[in-house]
Amino acid sequence: MEILVCIKRVPDTAENEIEVNRDGTDIERDDLVYSVNEWDNYAVEEAIQIRDKVGGNVTVVSVGDENAEEVVRREMAMGADQGILLSDDVFEGSDGKGVATILKAEIEKGKYDLILTGAQADDGAGQVGGMLAAMLDWPFASLVNKIEISDDKKISVGREIAGGNQEMNEMDLPCVLSIQTGINEPRYVGIRGIRKVASVDIPVHGMGELGLSPDRIGKAGAKVNCLDYFVPDPGEGAEMLEGSTDEILDKLVEILKSKGGIK
């Protein structure tokens, strides 16, 4: 089975303090560390497990600047067979549809049976997977937490529904799935693993290689444009506790007690 996983390099929410910059155009990026988007990591693990079970190939692809190569490499260290970086100055400023357009162009160059994306990204809107499927005119399932390969034509996919119940759907290949966290336990990628793939060639495809026209991608092609980033004002009834951890905890306990939350 030929599997393509779309991955994204995002600021690591666990290891950063995210703050909006002064003019509200972006977050403060000076001290940020980046990693592969958590959902995508689950998608790659799932792809590797499917490949190990039924054979085939796993390719990871990322749309981003040259720094995105680092996450492509990391996922190759995890076990993906190939990596492709889709990078071009004109890609910058693409909205969800623009990113889906770029990915679609790459997908059409190959012959894939299964496309996986993360259900959403830490810094995204959770729209690329669906748009990509629509553009390819392939079946799409979102928030997938279970995949069973029936044969080379069909798969069953599951989704958690309310009350912890499970829904199973059958769909034809090729198709696009957006993967939910918790579908598996992603393996650890050690420093040694990354070093082993440090010199593997990762092809970079730009606008030319993908045969894209500049008016459908990047800032020029974006139909949705970001206006502002800001910290919302505290609403009525909201109170920000300040001080050291101990002080905050004391205040919290006091409030909970006074409101009858704890005795």
Partner 1 sequence: METALISPAKAAFLGIPTVIFSLIIPVVGVAVFAYIMAKRLAPLVRALPDERLDRPCRRLVAVLKYYFGQYKHPRYITAGIIHIALFIGFFIISLRSVTLVLSGISEGYHLPGFGGELGAAYDILKDYTVTVMLVVTIVAMIRRGIFKPERYAVPPKYGKDHTKEAVFVLALISGLLISDSFFEGSLAAANLQQGIHSESMVLGTTPWVAALLLSGVSTESLQSIHIGAYFSHELIFFFFLCFLPLGKHFHIITSLPNVFMMKLDKGTVKPVRWGVPDSRLDELKNFGVNKFEDFTWKHMLDFYSCADCGRCSDHCPANAVGRPLSPRFITIKSRDYSFRHYPLLGDFIISNEPLIGNILEEHEIWSCTTCGACEEECPVMIEYIDKIVDLRRYMVEEGMVPQSLQKPLGALEKRGNPYGKMERKRADWIKDKNFADTFKVKVLGNGVKAETLFFVDSVTSFDDRIQHIGRSTARVLRACGIDFGILGPAEMDSGHEVRRFGEEMLFQQLRDKNIEAISSTRAKKLVTADPHAYNALKKDYIGMPEVEHISQVISHALVEKRIRLKPFKEEGRVFTYHDPCYLGRHNGFYDIPRKVIDSIEGLKRVEMGKRCKDRSFCCGGGGLYLFYEPIEEKRMGQVRVEMAAEAGADVIITACPFCMINLEDAVKTSGLEGKMEVIDLVELVDRHLEI
**Contact residues for partner 1 (CB under 8 A)?**
12, 14-17, 31, 33, 35, 78-79, 185-193, 195, 244-246
Q: Quick check: 54 and 20 in contact, CB under 8 A?
A: no
Taking the complex as a whole, the smallest distance from the CB of residue 110 to partner 1 amounts, in Å, to 26
Taking the complex as a whole, the smallest distance from the CB of residue 176 to partner 1 amounts, in Å, to 26
- Report the length, in residues, of the chain: 263
E runs forming strands in the chain: 2-7, 9-11, 34-36, 57-63, 82-86, 114-118, 140-149, 154-161, 165-172, 175-179, 204-205
CB atoms within 10 A of CB 216: 15
Measured between alpha carbons, how far is 73 from 82 in angstroms, rounded to an integer?
A: 9
Q: Pick the closer one to partner 1 by CB: 156 or 181.
A: 181
Q: Pick the closer one to partner 1 by CB: 53 or 109.
A: 53
Taking the complex as a whole, the smallest distance from the CB of residue 35 to partner 1 amounts, in Å, to 7
Q: Pick the closer one to partner 1 by CB: 41 or 101.
A: 41
Taking the complex as a whole, the smallest distance from the CB of residue 91 to partner 1 amounts, in Å, to 25
Measured between alpha carbons, how far is 38 from 125 in angstroms, rounded to an integer?
A: 14
Which residues contact residue 77 at a Cβ distance below 8 angstroms, ignoring those fewer than 6 apart? 189, 193, 194, 196, 197
Q: Pick the closer one to partner 1 by CB: 14 or 227.
A: 14
Taking the complex as a whole, the smallest distance from the CB of residue 18 to partner 1 amounts, in Å, to 12
DSSP string, 185-245: -PPP--HHHHHHTTT----EE-HHHHT--GGGSHHHH-SS------PPPP-TT-----S-H
Taking the complex as a whole, the smallest distance from the CB of residue 15 to partner 1 amounts, in Å, to 3
Taking the complex as a whole, the smallest distance from the CB of residue 210 to partner 1 amounts, in Å, to 31
Measured between alpha carbons, how far is 194 from 191 in angstroms, rounded to an integer?
A: 5
For strands 140-149 and 154-161, give the pairing: antiparallel
Measured between alpha carbons, how far is 63 from 82 in angstroms, rounded to an integer?
A: 15
Q: Pick the closer one to partner 1 by CB: 24 or 243.
A: 243
- H helices, E strands: number in the chain: 8, 11
Q: Pick the closer one to partner 1 by CB: 71 or 128.
A: 71
Q: Pick the closer one to partner 1 by CB: 198 or 227.
A: 198
